[in-house]
Structure 1
Amino acid sequence: MTPYRLAAYHDLDSYHGPLHARAVADTGRRYLAGLPLPPYQFFPSASFRTALVEEAGELAIAVRDPRELPADRRSAVWQRVCSDLDDWQRLDVAGQLAVATVLARLGFWITLAGLPLPGDISGNGLRLAQRHCVAQRLVAGDDRTVTGRLRRLLRAQVEDDDLPLPLRLAAAVGLVVEHARSDVSAAAMAHWQSMAQALVTHAPWGTYSDILLSAYWRGISFVPFHRGDHPQVREMLEISERLARAALRAAVPERRLLAAENLRLVLMTRARAAQARGRRGETEEYLRAAVRADPEDPVTQVALADFLVLVGHLRQARDHYRRAAELGAPCTGYARGQIDNCRADRLTSVPVTP
């Protein structure tokens, strides 16, 4: 049931469900212990918590801020978040960044967007300001002022020689993806791709993990994708997948979840790239691999089902829609509707973006 699978979003502690829910629980445990928080790549949408509450029923309370949850229903780590929010102004910037990261993982974007920022935006303050900007954009919708500020903050992170190289590389790749998903500026994407490549080329061996390098190749593949150079996209994504699988094979227990999440993202990207090339066999192969990599995620089930509808395999599609509906948020309503629509005269497929 959904409340069990996604319980981490209600207590920051339950290690169940799809990869992203387990990442929330892992983040919560590390936060409570005062350990560095892993750089998981998934963040919920602005509407995700609403979907959770609609499905969890009496086991969940509709809260827009963690402090709205009654004290007798708070886990130890949830209480820690509430206490740190109350003490926000007394926390150092590193502590504030940790709280902001937890809020983002939980999908409490309204709370995060409303927090005051420190005056000195450098180092951890720079990353905190980025989290704040993302929250503002998700709460208020696309806004040129907020988007411009986010890009300036990312640029400052890329250009800050005092920051660790992995943080600078992540920001450069982030700018490639940011432009690819918004203004599709070929010049801007090429510029930040060049910056990212320079950071990789000139770094000492071993500076970057295989997971970060995998994310790097996946991110910069947007550049050839938007100019229609599908062979180069495929080459870049092959490298990304090879690094992702190597990272998963070599992962120590505390990094295995991080590596598994990255592989799932690579497989979904490869599926979209294959579909753009018209390679139906490859598309299905990667979508099925993504389902195997994260079998409790309804989004991967829906993505596969939507593709099966497109190629006319309605019976198989119905099975995956049914499984997605069983798995729950955020796909329940859509998946149930498509189960009924999986007849030749009633297809209204609107693919869910993973």
Structure 2
Amino acid sequence: MNPDRLAAYYDLSSSHGPLHAQAVADTGRCYLTGLPLPPYQSFPSASFRTAVAEETKGRKTVVRDPRDHPASDRSAAWQRLCSELDAWQRLSADQQLKVATVLGHLGFWAVLARLPLPERASTQEAVRLAHRRYVARRMVFGGGPEVTDQLRGLLRVQAEDESLPAPMRLGAAVNLVVDHARSADSPAALAHWQSVAERLVERTPRGAYSDILLSAYWRGVSFVPFHRGAHDRVREMLDRSEHLARAALRAAGPGRRLLAQENHRLVLMTRARAAQARGRRSETEHYLRACVRVDPQDPVSHVYLADFLVLTGRRDDARASYRSAAALGPPHTAYALSQATNCRRDQVTSVPASP
């Protein structure tokens, strides 16, 4: 096992490992040097840090707050995070937003959920900070009606405020589309926010949105036909998303390369799930293997591929993929080892929705 591939989650600076760990390190570099934080889309689950600690057999402890790290073990970026958490009430709204974003990328959702908010969310940064905090509250406490209503209310503010930049408004509208599509609680609200997102794309001058943002837009709105079972429409939308993702990769300079790679991997995984829902086995395998190629150090990609191979009866191939996942290390080592053993014994357990 190689737990050091996740070192960025403990120092905010180690730039190796899977794409999501590299993104954490890049976020830490920008945070330390005062640069704008890159808009990475991947965030760890609420259980991520605990799972990593449990699977490294004492090499990592469960760090529940950045300040739990001894001062002697802190990198420069980590020390800055601790210092600014201690000085939270004296920070500007912009700096508070950066701290909150870093906490989310590190998986410190409980810390973020407890941070006090400004009395009035009267600035763009304050509104975004409040949104980050309610996302954290949902991650930690679940999506109850009160938290969901507060989160959607903040997204509505961002989507409807014509003084905000168009990319921010589009991101908020797409988040509302995805949230309503997943919950299926209000077809009218879903249709409204889908229409808002479409208008923002159609009526905004060409060039206002990056290829990455437009790729994320098409991936997000594809949730609507997906949940309605309109798989042909899903495929059309994801075709556009992947085309834009590949265009972003071709055009990306050094400072945007990792953002483009991360987005491309998310598109591929979405395509795999959509193809599987449609019953297209060869297409599903194609996209799952593509995920492994673009992010070979992420055990999740290997686990998803192995789970699919189990479903198609290819236990020898599945066992090899599970062993690859286990060799990479946490946070899915125990699951991968167990499934690899079960493949050999022809006693495969039920495949979890999210390993």
Partner SS state of residue 39, structure 1: coil
Q: Could you tell me which residue of structure 2 aligns to residue 278 of structure 1?
A: 279
Q: Check the 8 A contact 1:309/1:349 in 2, yes or no.
A: no
Q: Could you tell me which residue of structure 1 aligns to residue 235 of structure 2?
A: 234
- The percentage of counterpart residues that share the same residue type is 67
Q: Could you tell me which residue of structure 1 aligns to residue 99 of structure 2?
A: 99
Q: Could you tell me which residue of structure 1 aligns to residue 310 of structure 2?
A: 309
1:42-121 alignment runs, 5 A limit = 42-121=42-121
User: Separation in 2 of the partners of 1:91 and 1:41?
Assistant: 25
1:344 Cα offset (Å): 6.9
User: Separation in 2 of the partners of 1:208 and 1:120?
Assistant: 30
User: Separation in 2 of the partners of 1:93 and 1:303?
Assistant: 40
Q: Which amino acid aligns with 1:124?
A: E
Partner SS state of residue 132, structure 1: helix
Partner SS state of residue 56, structure 2: helix
RMSD between aligned alpha carbons?
1.3
User: Separation in 2 of the partners of 1:29 and 1:153?
Assistant: 29
Matched, 1:221 2:222: yes
Q: Check the 8 A contact 2:9/2:24 in 1, yes or no.
A: yes
User: Separation in 2 of the partners of 1:128 and 1:245?
Assistant: 31
1:162 Cα offset (Å): 1.2
Q: Could you tell me which residue of structure 2 aligns to residue 333 of structure 1?
A: 334
Q: Could you tell me which residue of structure 1 aligns to residue 295 of structure 2?
A: 294
Q: Could you tell me which residue of structure 1 aligns to residue 268 of structure 2?
A: 267
User: Separation in 2 of the partners of 1:261 and 1:351?
Assistant: 24
User: Separation in 1 of the partners of 2:28 and 2:293?
Assistant: 26
User: Separation in 2 of the partners of 1:298 and 1:341?
Assistant: 18
User: Separation in 2 of the partners of 1:307 and 1:175?
Assistant: 30
Q: Could you tell me which residue of structure 2 aligns to residue 14 of structure 1?
A: 14
User: Separation in 2 of the partners of 1:8 and 1:141?
Assistant: 27
Q: Summarize deviations over 1:16-71 as a string: whole Å, max 9, x none.
A: 11000000000000000000001101111110000121233444332211011100
User: Separation in 2 of the partners of 1:329 and 1:187?
Assistant: 42
Matched, 1:251 2:252: yes
Compute the TM-score of the two structures, normalised by the length of structure 1: 0.97
Q: Aligned in 2, Cα 1:184/1:229: closer, same or farther, shift over 3 Å? A: farther
> Could you tell which deviates more after superposition, 170-179 or 187-196?
187-196
Gaps (5+ residues) in structure 2?
none
Q: Summarize deviations over 1:92-139 as a string: whole Å, max 9, x none.
A: 100000000000000011111111001221311111001100111111
Matched, 1:170 2:155: no
Q: Check the 8 A contact 1:41/1:262 in 2, yes or no.
A: yes
1:3 Cα offset (Å): 2.5
Q: Summarize deviations over 1:126-164 as a string: whole Å, max 9, x none.
A: 110011001111111221100110001001100011110
Q: Aligned in 2, Cα 1:328/1:187: closer, same or farther, shift over 3 Å? A: farther
User: Separation in 2 of the partners of 1:223 and 1:164?
Assistant: 25
1:345 Cα offset (Å): 4.0
Q: Check the 8 A contact 2:319/2:344 in 1, yes or no.
A: no
> Could you tell which deviates more after superposition, 73-82 or 320-329?
320-329
User: Separation in 1 of the partners of 2:174 and 2:105?
Assistant: 20
Q: Check the 8 A contact 1:302/1:352 in 2, yes or no.
A: no
Q: Summarize deviations over 1:280-302 as a string: whole Å, max 9, x none.
A: 01000010011101001111111
Gaps (5+ residues) in structure 1?
none
User: Separation in 2 of the partners of 1:56 and 1:78?
Assistant: 21
User: Separation in 2 of the partners of 1:185 and 1:294?
Assistant: 36
